[in-house]
Amino acid sequence: MRRMLEILFVQEGLEVQTAESAEVAIEALNARPFDLVVSDIRMPGLSGIDLLRRLKADDSPSEVVLMTAYASTESAIEAIKLGAFDYVTKPFQVDELVNIVRHALEKKALKEENVLLKVELSQQEKFGEIVGKNPKMRQIYALIERIASATSSVLIQGESGTGKELVARAIHARSPRAGRPFVAINCGGLPETLLESELFGHAKGAFTGAVATKKGLFDSASGGTLFLDEIGETSPSMQVKLLRALQEKTIRPVGANEEHSVDARVLAATNQDLQQMIHEKRFREDLYYRVNVISIQMPPLRERREDIPLLVRYFVEKYARIWARPAPLVTQEALRALERYTWPGNVRELENVVERAMALARGERIESQDLPDEVRGFHVLRGESSVEIPDTGFALDEVMESLRAAYVQRAMEMEGGVMVRAARRLGISFRSMRYFVKKYGLGAGER
């Protein structure tokens, strides 16, 4: 039986080591980690149940599948209770055991992946609410620490969804002004007259509807921080007024006769290229130098892909908490798709995709089918990537075939020739993997 199973599992592309007793197995398990232990229950010496108990007591990472000779459901139930993955009753169909083994290995792989992600997040791969371990992000964290206590203005630049507001809040939270208000306003969202009265306030009777004197946000943020989001969207006349407020530290509410002084630290953000706008005379150079005393450039998500798994983990846990449900596992295939995608909407888009996937996920895991089409890569050839077709003739099938061979070979190399894992890496079935390995002559011994 042991020899038969060895042949069977090796044919399945697994790496197998056999042991003639639980005692020998324990020795092997002490020497190196195994993904899975398949053991008989009734053996001379220690029983399969004893072995299972030992493994669980040692907190072993191995999954355990047991085989029982009789339909002695008692020991089978005990095995499950003790933490065995599953059991088969002898005599069994080979397919049945192979299926169980495959599921056990899959579960193991998922567990490892999630353990990995968790470990990474807890190793302080974030700065307050800001998640990321990319070197550029770390430089930004260091910069925030350094400039937080200053009073100078800061200009935060970067594409939409890269975390500009998050950075502004982090600066405020670490500044001596932390106990005072943080006030944010989107300068692009309001018509000019409204923006002016929002920012500077207005006197009673300043315009129709101004039935009472109203305090502006510069005043509300007094002693604290005022965050001017999308400052590139302001009109030329508004830019003059902002410049005055920043330079003189005084404002005049709409319709008021008197100016008064304000004390708000101003942080500004934009997703536009202000230099270019200055060039085109759409943004005042003097205002630019006034807000850009310190400058922070947020990298787009596609330039810090190593942070994607961390962010996925972070958002999965965030929504699990909000919806009071257990955090789902993320399959390797889904994670790969998330890592490959270009993220034009940056972290905001990633957060939306995770939230949506969690709403869609039927089971306890997020699979690639829970992701939007564009993330799954169905539109990879759109947009920035392009392909060349030589005039000298072309054979698409051959090109695809050699591309596939290259990927299959690479996956096999990365997984040390273990076909199940290589198949997972490529997001294809084990069956297809076995077929291609044979076709391209990549299997062990065939190289």
Measured from the CB of residue 79, what is the shortest distance to ligand ADP in angstroms? Answer: 43
> Hunting for tokens 């990633």 — which residue is that?
350
Q: What is the DSSP string of 305-319?
A: GGGHHHHHHHHHHHH
**SS3 assignment, position 329:** strand
Cβ count near 399 (within 10 Å): 12
Measured from the CB of residue 271, what is the shortest distance to Mg ion in angstroms? Answer: 8
Tell whether the torsion through CA atoms of 73, 79, 83 and 87 is positive or negative: negative
> Hunting for tokens 């002559």 — which residue is that?
441
Q: Name which of 123 and 402 has its Cβ closer to ligand ADP.
A: 123
Measured from the CB of residue 131, what is the shortest distance to ligand ADP in angstroms? Answer: 4
Structure tokens at 290: 């006034």
165 binds Mg ion (CB under 5 A): yes
Q: Name which of 51 and 156 has its Cβ closer to ligand ADP.
A: 156
Instruction: Report what 48 binds from Mg ion, ligand ADP, none; CB cut-off 5-8 Å by kind.
Output: none
Instruction: Report what 203 binds from ligand ADP, Mg ion, none; CB cut-off 5-8 Å by kind.
Output: none
Measured from the CB of residue 168, what is the shortest distance to Mg ion in angstroms? Answer: 9
Residue number closest to Mg ion, CB atom: 165
Q: Backbone phi, then psi, for 140, in 5-degree steps?
A: -65, -40
Q: Name which of 130 and 256 has its Cβ closer to ligand ADP.
A: 130
**Among 348, 365, 379, 434, contact with ligand ADP (rule: CB under 6 A):** 348
Q: Name which of 20 and 129 has its Cβ closer to ligand ADP.
A: 129
**Among 144, 187, 334, 347, contact with ligand ADP (rule: CB under 6 A):** 347
Measured from the CB of residue 187, what is the shortest distance to Mg ion in angstroms? Answer: 11
Q: Name which of 186 and 409 has its Cβ closer to ligand ADP.
A: 186
232 binds ligand ADP (CB under 6 A): no
C-beta pairs of 414-421 under 8 Å, 24+ apart in sequence: 416/15, 417/443, 417/444, 418/13, 418/14, 418/15, 419/12, 419/13, 419/14, 420/12, 420/13, 420/14, 420/102, 420/105, 421/109
Alpha helices in 32-159 (DSSP H): 48-57, 73-81, 94-122, 135-147
Site for ligand ADP in 300-339 (CB under 6 A): 311, 314
Site for ligand ADP in 119-138 (CB under 6 A): 130-132
Measured from the CB of residue 186, what is the shortest distance to Mg ion in angstroms? Answer: 7
- What's the CA angle centered on 375, arms 371 and 378, to 5 degrees? 105
Provide the 8-state DSSP code for 254.
B
15 binds Mg ion (CB under 5 A): no
Structure tokens at 98: 């192979």
Measured from the CB of residue 382, what is the shortest distance to ligand ADP in angstroms? Answer: 23
**SS3 assignment, position 291:** helix
Distance CA 375, CA 339 (A): 9
Binding mask 139-168 for ligand ADP (x = CB under 6 A): -------------------x-xxxxxxx--
Q: Name which of 351 and 367 has its Cβ closer to ligand ADP.
A: 351
Measured from the CB of residue 129, what is the shortest distance to Mg ion in angstroms? Answer: 14
Options 239-247, 249-257, 347-355, 394-402: segment touching ligand ADP (CB under 6 A): 347-355
**SS3 assignment, position 421:** helix
Q: Name which of 21 and 160 has its Cβ closer to ligand ADP.
A: 160
Distance CA 136, CA 138 (A): 5
Q: Name which of 214 and 348 has its Cβ closer to ligand ADP.
A: 348
One-letter amino acid of 350: L
Q: Name which of 161 and 253 has its Cβ closer to ligand ADP.
A: 161
Cβ neighbours of residue 100 under 8 Å, at least 6 residues apart?
65, 85, 86, 88
Q: Which residues bind ligand ADP (CB under 6 A)?
A: 130-132, 158, 160-166, 311, 314, 347-348, 351
Residues that bind Mg ion (CB under 5 A): 165
